[in-house]
Amino acid sequence: MKANWFPILLIVALLGLLAILATLQYRWLGQISDSERVRLEKRLEDDTKRFKEDFNKEINFIFNNFQVDSEAYKNEDWGIFNRKYLFWKTKTDHPEIVRRVYFFSRANGEMLLEFEPDRAVFSKSTNTPETDTIIRELESQDTFNPVLKNTTAIAIPVYDKEEKIERIVTRTRGANTKLLRTKSRINLPEKYGYLLVVLDERSIANNLLSRLTEKYFSDSSGVNYKVSVTSESGKTVFQTHSEQLSAADSTAKLFTLSPNKFVFFPRNNGRVRSRRLTKPENEVVTDSNTVSTENDGNNIETEENVVAVNIEGIGLGKSKVAVFEGKSGPQNGIWTLKVQHVSGSLEQFIHNTRRRNLGISFGILGLLAASMILIVFSSQRAKLLAQRQIDFVSSVSHEFRTPLSVIYSAGENLSDGVIDEQDKISTYGRLITREGKKLSEMVEQILEFAGARSGNRRYDLRETSVGQILQKALEECDPIIQEMGFEVTQEVAQDLNTVLADENALTQAIQNLINNALKYSNGEKWIRITAKNVGEGIRVEVEDRGIGISDGDMQRIFEPFFRSKNVVDEQISGNGLGLSLVKQIVEGHGGKISVESEIGRGSKFIIELAG
């Protein structure tokens, strides 16, 4: 009992362990997915921010570098602007994004000049639909915005004179204006005109935006995010994929001319004093005196629209550097950057990754479970096969012992002179011949089986008459048929097709079926052999009225060494190789064998061969 239950208990225990492992793995993958989601969201947020900063830095570089006061235009001193233009052109990675530069002023009548880079001068220009659109938008603004919406251009104001600012006052959000120590405000000079920088939208899309997309939203396998840039009117400026983005995992505003950092270098290089802000104040003042102000980031919160102040390089004999860094305020960009994962969304990507990982993990666990089950069943099958082989050896030994005993007894009687009558001597001779033939057939069966199992069996295929094969098989079995008094009925068609077969092997297969019918006749001494054409092939049937085969044994009847329980119980001789050899021979000829049977009413074995 213990030996029978052990494999089942082992399988149950191993499957239980796999179930526990699967549960733990499911939880671990869930935690990994959550961590991956946080990591990817943070990375996407940072990459989107850097994308925006790099783009806006290019635009701010143009805006800040092209600023020239009005004296240059009044005196037509174009060298000042040309030096700034050449400096910008050598420093930028994308000089092609500036398509045209105009100067426009109404100070002394309407004046429109166009910059000619080849000649390094501004020359008079006539109005075009593009410049008319830009001028109309500038003059219709209630509050000046240097970024123009109707045309991809920026307007840089040109002031009458340049003022130096000696003091910077940064007021914190929510400051009480009544408590402010500094009341003065900086008044900007009058505008003399505008420098109009017309940008090349196509170059921005094909070069600047494309490079930034590759830089921030690509990996070794290519672009893994869908990126689009649209204007306020909904026009698509740039996109990496043909379809529109249904939803964005991250967004940012482009064309924002609001620098977040300012650096000030006071002129005083002597010894400086410093103080640290340890509590929030209404305003922070820095100027060109010897007192430096430094922000304590642990005590003063820096929120949106609030400026943080840092001082670097404080020390003897060194210039004092004040760095003002503010969080991004209200976004005023005219273009919108939208980023969406190629899977549809970042959440969908995480879900798909988790599902794929679960599939792979559970597939591996399933493979492990199947492997364990197969190993257990294989071991059981090997054990069963070993038992069958032992039974086979025992059966073969018994089969050999009977004819050997007969031969030995007959030979002893003859050698001792017990039999001296000629008729009895002839009878003994026939007996020895018959038993010797049985031994020979059994040895031949074993050799045939061994050859077939090793794969070394080769068939000598030739055009052969099936009728001739049936006749030869009956002749081989005729002595035992006559001895047992069987009636053999033959229904063989006269115009049978020829088949490509090994005559000796196929004869042996038919002979084995006939011997089976004789052996398991159950007292019914009748056999019918039928052969007929089926299409271009042939169908051969060997039918008897013997003990029959149960449904449970039907699926295993052609297995080597298999003998049904009823046959073993009734002690019918045999070794369990006959039908297995028949199946191997028929399949070796490209045919197939089947059986129809009913307990107590007989069996019909059917062989189908191709013509």
Tokens 């840089």 correspond to 156
Q: How confident is the model at residue 577 (pLDDT cuts 50, 70, 90)?
A: confident
- Same domain as 605, residue 469: yes
Domain boundary among 392, 409, 425: 392
Pull the structure tokens for residue 396.
């073969």
Q: Among positive and negative, which fits the CA dihedral 572, 574, 580, 583?
A: negative
The confidence score (pLDDT) of residue 461 equals 86
439: which residues sit within 8 A by CB, 6+ positions away? 400, 403, 404, 407
Closest CA to 70 of 81, 62, 61: 81
pLDDT at 401 over 70: yes
Tokens 């850097």 correspond to 50
Higher-scoring residue by pLDDT: 80, 164 = 80
Q: What φ, ψ does residue 495 adopt, rounded to 5°?
A: -105, 45
Q: Is residue 422 part of a domain?
A: no
Q: How far apart are CA 235 and CA 253, in angstroms?
A: 15
Q: How confident is the model at residue 87 (pLDDT cuts 50, 70, 90)?
A: very high
From 157-161, 207-211, 275-279, 383-387, the region with the lowest mean pLDDT:
275-279
pLDDT at 198 over 80: yes
The confidence score (pLDDT) of residue 524 equals 85
Q: Is residue 225 part of a domain?
A: no
Q: Is residue 372 part of a domain?
A: yes
Domain boundary among 392, 423, 449: 392
- Same domain as 579, residue 531: yes
- Same domain as 133, residue 19: no
Closest CA to 325 of 307, 301, 348, 304: 307
Q: Is residue 603 part of a domain?
A: yes
Higher-scoring residue by pLDDT: 565, 261 = 565
Over residues 451-488, the pLDDT tens digits come to 666 666 678 888 888 889 999 999 888 888 888 899 99
The confidence score (pLDDT) of residue 186 equals 58
Q: Is residue 543 part of a domain?
A: yes
Pairing of strands 291-295, 273-277: parallel
- Same domain as 8, residue 138: no
Q: Is residue 326 part of a domain?
A: no
Mean local confidence (pLDDT), 89-104: 93
- Same domain as 8, residue 70: no
- Same domain as 76, residue 23: no
Q: How far apart are CA 339 and CA 269, in angstroms?
A: 48
Closest CA to 197 of 331, 95, 124, 50: 95
The confidence score (pLDDT) of residue 382 equals 84
CA 132 to chain centre: 56
The confidence score (pLDDT) of residue 274 equals 46
The confidence score (pLDDT) of residue 387 equals 77
The number of domains in the chain is 3
Domain that holds residue 382: 2-38+347-392
Over residues 228-264, the pLDDT tens digits come to 999 888 888 999 888 878 788 899 999 888 655 555 5
Q: Is residue 259 part of a domain?
A: no
pLDDT at 267 over 80: no
Q: What is the DSSP letter of 163?
A: -
pLDDT at 277 over 70: no
Higher-scoring residue by pLDDT: 108, 25 = 25
Average pLDDT, the chain: 79
How many residues can be counted in the chain? Answer: 611
CA 281, 282, 287: angle at the middle one, nearest 5? Answer: 90
Over residues 142-153, the pLDDT tens digits come to 888 888 888 899
* Side chain identity, residue 112: L
Domain boundary among 148, 171, 199: 199
Q: Are 340 and 240 in contact (CB under 8 A)?
A: no
- Same domain as 80, residue 22: no
- Same domain as 167, residue 86: yes
From 169-183, 256-270, 309-323, 542-556, the region with the lowest mean pLDDT:
309-323
Closest CA to 364 of 91, 29, 8: 29
- Same domain as 546, residue 495: yes
Pull the structure tokens for residue 407.
């031969």
Pure H helices in 187-244: 201-203, 210-216
Q: Is residue 508 part of a domain?
A: yes
Q: How confident is the model at residue 14 (pLDDT cuts 50, 70, 90)?
A: confident
- Same domain as 468, residue 599: yes
Q: What is the CATH number for 530? A: 3.30.565.10
pLDDT at 162 over 80: no
The confidence score (pLDDT) of residue 296 equals 38
Query: Could you give the C-alpha distances from 279 to 89, 93, 197, 521, in angstroms and in order?
Result: 45, 43, 44, 111
Percent over 90 (pLDDT), the chain: 25
Over residues 23-68, the pLDDT tens digits come to 888 888 888 888 888 888 899 999 999 999 999 999 999 998 998 9
In a 10 Å sphere around its CB, with 0-12 CB exposed, 13-18 middle and 19+ buried, how is residue 107 labelled? Answer: middle
Mean local confidence (pLDDT), 560-569: 75
CA 158, 261, 161: angle at the middle one, nearest 5? Answer: 20
H or E element in which residue 608 lies: strand 602-609
Q: How confident is the model at residue 536 (pLDDT cuts 50, 70, 90)?
A: confident
- Same domain as 579, residue 466: yes
User: Is the overall model pTM greater than 0.75, yes or no?
Assistant: no
- Same domain as 463, residue 358: no
Higher-scoring residue by pLDDT: 326, 534 = 534
**Cα Dmax for the chain:** 158
Higher-scoring residue by pLDDT: 189, 196 = 196
Percent over 70 (pLDDT), the chain: 78
